[in-house]
Every structure is written in structure tokens, then in C-alpha cells.
Structure 1
């Protein structure tokens, strides 16, 4: 009985470690891609006065999104019989909801436009795809 408990504790520890490493990988990849998008947008002069399209907010919100996705996936692996499929559904719903401000709020911000909103939307999509791909692997 003691070895079963030790085994399950070791398995849980390994699972948490694997999830943490996957989340960290998703974060690094998401940040690099989103920073490249910000760099490109700044280089061609798209919405230079828009705060949301600068490195600080992009870094903060990308990190929050990936950490949230990692925690959500970890919780789903404990409660769902098919956590991968359920995570894809949850991620899709969150993605759609995250796009709403990009096209309703961002165009009205100082320096904002529909193009800037679309660029932020692309960042949301790439981060969601990365999270689903890396976490469910």
C-alpha cells in the first residue's frame, strides 16, 4: 500500500513537472511570435500610439493567457475523461471571447484601428493554437 501511494505521488509530481515544462514551452514560443508581430507592426508603422500593441502589454497578456491555459488544462486532466477534447472546446470559446475587444474596443482607442485589432486578434489565435498544440501533445 505504501508503494502505491509513493507511486501515485511520484506520478503526480511527474505530471505536474511535465505540465509546467509544456506551459513554459508554450509561453516562450508564444512570446517570441507575439514579439515578432509587435516588431513587424512597429516597423511598418501600424498603430504606433496604441498601447495594446507594445511589448509590455503584449508580454503581460500573453503570459496571463498561457498561464491560464496551462492551469485550465491541468485541472481538466484531473476531472475530465477526455481532457484534450474538452480543452480544445474551452480554448475555442475563450479565443472567440478574446477577439471581441479586438474589434469593438481597440478601434476606438487612441491610435487604434481595425487593422490594429486584427493584428492583436492574430496574436490571440497564434497563442491559442500554440497552447492547444503544446499542452495536448
Structure 2
């Protein structure tokens, strides 16, 4: 019985470590992509006064989003029969909801515009794609 408990605990620990590593990969990739987008927007002079389109807020909200996605996927792996499919659906819904402020609030912010909102929305899309790709087993089924 103790051997079964140790094996179960060991596989559970390995799953948590794998999830954390996948989440770290998603975070690094998302941050790099979003920093490149911020660099391009700043270089192009797009909304230089818009606080939301600067490295600090982009880094903070990207990190919060990826950590949230990682925790969500971890929960779904424990409670859902098909966590990959459910996570992809949840990610799509959250992505659509996250785009609403980009096109309703950001244009009215100081220095904001529809273009700036679209750029921020693009960051949401890239982060969602990276998270689904890095966290789910969909990449392993080829």
C-alpha cells in the first residue's frame, strides 16, 4: 500500500513539475512576443502616451494571464475527462472577453486609439495561442 501511495505521489509531483515547466515556457514566449510588439509600437510612434502599451503593464498583465491559464489548465486536468479540449474552449471564451476593453475602453484612454486597442488585442491573441500550445497535449498528438 505504501508503494502505491509513493508511486501516486511521485506521478502527481511529476505532473505538477511538468505543468510548471510548460507554464514557464508559455510565460517566456508570451513575454518575448509581447515585448517585441511593444517595441514595434513604440518605434512606430503608435500611442506613445498610452500607459497600457508600455513594458510594465504589458509584462504584468501577460504574467497574470499566463499564470491564470496555467492554474486553470492544472485544475481542468484533475476534473475534466478531456482537459485539452475544455481548456481550448475556456481560452477562446476568455480571449473574446479580454478583447472587449481593447475596443471599448482603450480608444477613450489618454493617447489611446482603435489601432492601439487592436495592438493590445493582438497581444491577447498571441498569448492565448502560446498558452494553448504550451500547456495542452495537443502538440504531442501529431
Q: Give the TM-score normalised by the residue count of structure 2.
A: 0.96
Match of residue 99 from structure 2: 99
Q: Determine whether 1:39 maps to 2:47.
A: no
Match of residue 86 from structure 2: 86
Distance in 1 of aligned mates of 2:89 and 2:111: 34
Provide the secondary structure at the position in 2 that maps to 1:74: helix
Instruction: After TM superposition, list the pairs within 5 Å mapping 1:55-94 onto structure 2.
Output: 55-94=55-94
Q: Render the CA deviation track for 1:105-130: whole Å, top value 9, x for unaligned.
A: 00000000000000000000000000
Q: Determine whether 1:15 maps to 2:40.
A: no
Distance in 2 of aligned mates of 1:36 and 1:94: 23
Q: Render the CA deviation track for 1:71-113: whole Å, top value 9, x for unaligned.
A: 0000000000000000000000000000000000000000000
Distance in 1 of aligned mates of 2:21 and 2:94: 23
Q: Render the CA deviation track for 1:47-93: whole Å, top value 9, x for unaligned.
A: 00000000000000000000000000000000000000000000000
Q: Determine whether 1:28 maps to 2:44.
A: no
Match of residue 51 from structure 1: 51
Give the alignment's Cα RMSD to 1 decimal.
0.3
Shift of residue 18 of structure 1?
0.2
Match of residue 113 from structure 2: 113
Count, aligned residues:
137
